[in-house]
C-alpha cells in the first residue's frame, strides 16, 4: 500500500495522457510500465540509435527516462488542474548501461505544496539480471491552476 494519497482519483489516466504527448519519449521508444501514487516506471528497449560510441546506452537517454519517471511520479500526487516542471536533477552514473532495456523508476520522497523531491533509479536489464546503472535526486515544481495541456 502506498503512503501517498493522490488528490486526483484519475491520476493514472492524467499521467498516461501527458506521457503520450511527450515527443522525446516517443522518439526514444520509451513506455510507461508502472503508474502508482508517488511511483512511476519507464522502460526503454535497446536500439543502436540510443547508444554512445562504445555501444552502451547513452547517458542522455538514461537521464531523460530518469527525469520523466521522477516527473510523472510527482505528477501522480499533484491536483488535477496542475502541471509539472523539473527545477533540478542530478544523476550519478554507476555502471555501464548495457542490456536489452533500461528501466527508470521515479519515487516521491516528499511531496509539498510547491516543491516535490523524487528519488531516481535506472536499472539495466540483461539476460534476466538487473544492474543499478544510475541514481539521482530531483526537485519538481507543481504549477497549480495550470492544467497539463499542449502549449505550442
Half-sphere exposure in the Cβ direction for 139 (13 Å, CA): 4
The average pLDDT across 97-116 equals 97
Residue 117 lies in a domain: yes
Does the pLDDT at position 152 exceed 70? Answer: no
Can you give the pTM of this predicted structure? 0.95
pLDDT value of position 150: 62
Residue 61 lies in a domain: yes
Residue 52 lies in a domain: yes
Its domain, for residue 109, covers 11-143
Residue 2 lies in a domain: no
Q: Total domain count for the chain?
A: 1
Residue 1 lies in a domain: no
Residue 3 lies in a domain: no
Residue 148 lies in a domain: no
CATH of the domain at 29: 3.10.129.10
Q: How confident is the model over 7-63, as pLDDT tens digits?
A: 999 999 999 999 999 999 999 999 999 999 999 999 999 999 999 999 999 999 999
At 6, the pLDDT band (50, 70, 90 cuts) reads very high
Residue 99 lies in a domain: yes
Amino acid at each position: 500500500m502506498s503512503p501517498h494519497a493522490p488528490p486526483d482519483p484519475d491520476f493514472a489516466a492524467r499521467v498516461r495522457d501527458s506521457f503520450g504527448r511527450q515527443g522525446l519519449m516517443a522518439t526514444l521508444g520509451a513506455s510507461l510500465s508502472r503508474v502508482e501514487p508517488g511511483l512511476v516506471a519507464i522502460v526503454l528497449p535497446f536500439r543502436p540509435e540510443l547508444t554512445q560510441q562504445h555501444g552502451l546506452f547513452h547517458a542522455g537517454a538514461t537521464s531523460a527516462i530518469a527525469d520523466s519517471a521522477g516527473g510523472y511520479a510527482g505528477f501522480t500526487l499533484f491536483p488535477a488542474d496542475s502541471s509539472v516542471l523539473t527545477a533540478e536533477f542530478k544523476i550519478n552514473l554507476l555502471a555501464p548501461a548495457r542490456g536489452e532495456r533500461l528501466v527508470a523508476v521515479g519515487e516521491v520522497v516528499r511531496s509539498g505544496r510547491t516543491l516535490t523531491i523524487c528519488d531516481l533509479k535506472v536499472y539495466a536489464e540483461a539476460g534476466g539480471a538487473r544492474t543499478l546503472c544510475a541514481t539521482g535526486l530531483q526537485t519538481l515544481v507543481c504549477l497549480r491552476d495550470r492544467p497539463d495541456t499542449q502549449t505550442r
